[in-house]
A = this chain, B = another copy of it.
Amino acid sequence: MKRILVIHGPNLNLLGKREPAVYGKTTLLQINNSLKALSRRLKVKLTIKQTNVEGEIVDLIQGARAKFDGILINPAAYTHTSVAIRDAIAASGIATIEVHLSNIYAREEFRQKSLISPVANGTVLGFGSKSYLLGLEALLDIIS
């Protein structure tokens, strides 16, 4: 049974409350429940984390080396600024999928660049909470 680490980046704990025009009304709890439902169907073991601290995301990715088969990450605001998370993914040696709720390439200039994409196995973006489910499916496909 495959083990997947899901990492939610900064401010995603506010989902549903935060700027619903941009991020939709679904809460993080609902996303996590959808992910768990899908994981039961796909028979994978899910561990879900959220943190606002860049370095803790680096810690999580580093810690995943021996314990997980894949990482599903929404780096949120750190997508555009974190070389450290990028390096951690490149160093992790684990299949990693990047997801975004919104279409970052249709937003402000400074969001139209992902430091994470070049080191991710693939990216799913713009489908709202559905991005996570597609990403999980794709991740399982890769590590199988």
Contact = CB atoms under 8 A, between A and B. Distances in A.
A8 to B, nearest CB: 13
Given A110-B83, A124-B124, A91 B11 contact: yes
A55 B56 contact: yes
A32 interface: no
> What is the total number of copies of this protein in its complex?
12
Contacts of A59: 52
Interface of A: 9-11, 13-14, 17-19, 51-56, 58-59, 62, 65, 76-78, 80-84, 86-88, 90-91, 93, 103, 105-106, 110-111, 114-115, 117-127, 130-131, 134, 137-138, 141-142
Nearest to A118: B106
Nearest to A98: B126
A19 B91 CA distance: 6
